[in-house]
Each structure stands twice: as structure tokens, then as C-alpha cells.
Amino acid sequence: MGVLNVTPDSFSDGNHYFHQDRAIEHGLEMARDGADIIDVGGESTRPYAKEVSVTEEMDRVIPVIETLNKELSVPISIDTYKSEVTQEALKAGASVINDISALRFDPDMASIAAETDVPVILMHMKGTPRNMQDNPTYDDLILEILNFLKNAIARAVKAGIRKELIIVDPGIGFGKTFDDNLKIIKELSRFGSLKCPVLLGSSNKAFIGHILNKEARERDTGTMATIAAGIMNGAHIVRAHNVKKAVETVKIVDAIKTGRVGNI
């Protein structure tokens, strides 16, 4: 999953693809580099980020999705927790919903997902982007995330979303300490008990920078290490800013897992 932030303030690539022409070209480039999904977002969800209006978010993402949909064969996901943005994005050509709130922030999100019958990514987050990093604590990190995601899956299914369309994301960096993030990757196989594909979103996150003493755009090596570890531990989808390097990393890890060299 290639990350396309059409924002001025995202933690890793804020303002780099804020202008529509640059965003569209970057989306096309990620597809050429081997992305299976392009994830388009118009509001930064980095810690302490400010919320943007529905209108502003739509102005950012809808034209980009419309153009990419005409040019690409790979699916486009809309990274939002707002139902109005989701509806317009799906009309524009998006075919996956990536909701960091796991359908909690907007009461209309679940019904839209059910009616449109598209894949939905449900992510764990403690609090909101505005307060999630204010001393997040857990009694049992993995168990609490598992229980949250079990409840999110149950809510989604009750709302009419088919379970086979649900993807879960343990939420690296969303209400987690640096050590929490490492533990999630180390124990990612436990999320297999949910019987849903698992998405890992570790790309360029702060815990990588903390370990390597690198700025956000200098964390490719660390990101690829987390991707490799994540896949070995059961990740089915990996979200990456540097798609070209991520595709190469995935090919090597898949070859190791299958024990054969071939056209993967």
C-alpha cells in the first residue's frame, strides 16, 4: 500500500505532494513501482495534528482520486474517518475505506461501508490524533488491542459489513510508546486469531527515528526492517512511503517464507 498524503503537514512527506499535479504524479509513480493499493489521505493524523473541515479535505483528495482512477488499474483507498468524504471518494473511484477510528468517529461510516460493499480497514487507536500520545499506557498491550479490534469487527459485522471485507490494523504509533510499537511487530502473529488480513503501518514512524537518530525522510532502512519483520510475523499488507524499496523487501521476505526463488 503506497502512501499518498495530499496534505501540508503530514509527519513524513507533508507539503511534498500537497499540490494536485504532484500528488497525481506521485500516485502514478508508486503504481509503476509496484504498489498494489494507493492510499489517499487529505488530513494529517500525526500526533497533535489539527482537524480540517470536510470541504477542505474533499477539495484535496477528490480531484486526485478522480484522475488516478482513470489512469490506474490498482485500487485506491480513501484514508478518512468522515462519512461525507468517504461517500464522495467512493463516487470518484476509491474502492477501499481506511478509517483510523475503526468506524467510531462518524456514525454514518459503517452504513456507507455496508451499502457500498467495499473492503474496510479498522485500526486501533487510543484516544484521538489530538491526544493519543499523551502518556499512553496499557495493562496488557496486545490483549487490549486484540479486544478492541474484536469489538470493532463485531460492530462492523452487525452494521452489515461482510467479515471477509474487513482488514485490521494494530495502529503503530497511534497511542503507543516506542516500546509498544516494537512489541506489536514482535507479536504480530497473535493478530491472526482475528481471522482478518493484518495491515502494518510502520513506515517512517518516530520510533524508527528514535532508534536510528534519523529524520522522517531518512528512515527507509529502518522502515524496510520493520516491514520484513512484520511480514515474517504475519502482516498481509504493508503501508509504505517508499514503494520501490518496500516491493523489493517484500519479494525477498516472501521468497524466504516460501523457500523458493521465482516470479513473486
- Cell numbers given for 138: 496499557
Report whether 204 contacts 229 (CB < 8 A).
no
70 is catalytic: no
**Among candidate residues 99, 30, 254, the one with its CA nearest the CA of residue 108:** 99
**How many angstroms separate the CA atoms of 26 and 31, rounded?**
9
Report whether 223 contacts 202 (CB < 8 A).
yes
- Cell numbers given for 5: 498524503
50 is catalytic: no
Report whether 33 contacts 247 (CB < 8 A).
yes
Report whether 32 contacts 47 (CB < 8 A).
no
**Annotated catalytic residue within 205, 219, 244, 251:** 205
**Annotated catalytic residue within 46, 60, 176, 239:** 239
- Cell numbers given for 77: 483507498
Instruction: Tell me the backbone φ, ψ of residue 124, rounded to 5 degrees.
Output: -85, 135
> For residue 213, how many other CB atoms are within 10 A of its CB?
7
What is the set of active-site residues?
A: 205, 239
